[in-house]
Structure 1
């Protein structure tokens, strides 16, 4: 491994990581990297061999006790030579002492188990053009709630709502994630409370929805339909936690089909999250 060097990722490296993820078929968001960068600027690592990028990983710290691994990719021409493992160890060292989560693709899950990760549930990507109807399909206002632009609500309300579904506060990330150009963030609002939140963003493939939070399937369906209206062709993809049976049943009823699967895994007991309201996770790269 002579000449192997690990450094923090530059802006150009972040775009390279997005391109590598796209080549793996992960369909990352076109502008995700701008929100990723504010989540933890030092959390993105690149390994180079004689100056050429060989592997990448993200090891993002949240608060004082949680971390998340993502973007674990080796350049195909450098695979099987131990560079990826060196980078993995560097990422895990950065998160030492924390509960660590990741979304592991099927072919890597045994390796993650060997590193101490235990499966909690599967995130199954469902994709397609939502068919009309279903709970909430009639549109805004059904059921006594209103679908509004999330930017019109006090950010403190959004941040507090997000904490019901994520182990630590992530205000800087959430602020960027919901407000980047080209994406749409909608909230379901009723009696002064947020009862649902969804964000759709452009990708090279189907537009991705994440997060998708809702207190009822009706609210989730309304948000999903409305978000699909803000895409070029109405085709969306959402990573649905299979532990929420209502979420799986909803996307199936709307005609979305499974296309990809990853296991949410943790190095310890899974955090106490409001899984009944989690209809779509925010990002497979950052949790």
Structure 2
């Protein structure tokens, strides 16, 4: 996993420093490497979630060996691992035509916004608490509103890693939002960020960004949620990267209006 993260950093994707530990908890058999003369030259993650969903990520070929078919070989292996499932990915702009040829269809774009947020102050009457203080079954059920299937092993690892700040927003005993901040080689990453309203999202973002005061954050926003786009732009963050969320099957029925940031472009 360390090598895959290093390759992803070289591509400018900036995964979290400890993401690999949670990724392996999701599907320890879902990370494939192609070797040439014993040397790793290509990679893909093909993570199984539940019985009928899968996610493709970390699709990388070393720059000097691109165009020689090595990527296609790991692609076929990854898709075989996910055979029979609705498969999703976040496709970079230059590869989206290829993904369409493989049966993927665009649902929306994820746009990465980065910078130091200005004017991010908690608002409203929600209480922000350590998400690890919330009974895990409640947190997992809340996550299930925004993700196509249960991912308990992944989520438990994602929130419990020691380098993370994980917060839940609670009002009158009910979960109203959830967000996680994690360190990365570049800007610290926020994801997921779920919220019942823009005010709740703002409060969570202010508290999470406050864990790294004065330093840049990066957040991957679904452009189909106009409130999320408006929020990050109002805070002065700048768009730096985009990828299309694509599926081979039907677009899952998730609460897109509550997704202010996706968890990860590598695993969904």
Query: Where on the TM-score scale, by shorter chain, does this alignment land: which range?
Result: over 0.9
* TM-score calculated relative to the size of structure 1: 0.92
Name the structure 2 match of 1:46: 33
SS of the residue 1:224 aligns to: helix
The answer to whether the Cα contact below 8 Å between 1:62 and 1:170 also exists between their aligned partners in 2 is yes
Three-state SS of the structure 1 residue aligned to 2:218 is strand
Distance 2:61 2:215 in 1: 33
User: 2:161 pairs with 147, 156, 180, which one?
Assistant: 180
1:118 to 105, 117, 132: 105
Q: Name the CA distance, whole Å, in 2 between partners of 1:43 and 1:204.
A: 24
Residues 171-207 of structure 1: per-residue CA shift (max 9 Å, x gap): 0100110111111000100112111000000001000
How far apart are the structure 2 equivalents of 1:78 and 1:176? 34
Residues in 1 aligned to 2:159 and 2:224: alpha-carbon distance in whole angstroms: 25
**Residue-pair matches, total:** 268
Which residue number corresponds to residue 96 of structure 1?
A: 83
Q: Residue 262 of structure 1: which of 236, 243, 248 is its match?
A: 243
Task: Assess if the C-alpha contact under 8 Å between 1:202 and 1:231 holds in 2.
Answer: no
4+ runs deviating over 3 angstroms: none
String of CA shifts for 1:197-235, please: whole Å, max 9, x gaps: 000000010000000000000000110011001126431
For residues 12-161 of structure 1, what are the structure 2 equivalents within 5 Å?
14-133=1-120, 137=121, 139=122, 142-161=123-142
SS at 2:118 equivalent: coil
- Counterpart CA distance in 2 for 1:56 and 1:229 is 35
Q: Equivalent residue for 2:145?
A: 164
Residue 238 in structure 1 maps to residue 214 in structure 2:
no
1:149-186, Cα deviation, whole Å (9 max, x unpaired): 10111011110000000001000100110111111000
* Residues 90-132 of structure 1: CA deviation (Å, up to 9, x unaligned): 1001101000000000000000000000000000001111111
**Residues in 1 aligned to 2:124 and 2:220: alpha-carbon distance in whole angstroms:** 25
Match for residue 7 of structure 1?
A: none
Unmatched runs of 5 consecutive residues or more in structure 2: none
- RMSD (Å) for aligned C-alpha atoms: 0.9
Answering whether residue 255 of structure 2 is matched by residue 274 of structure 1, we say yes
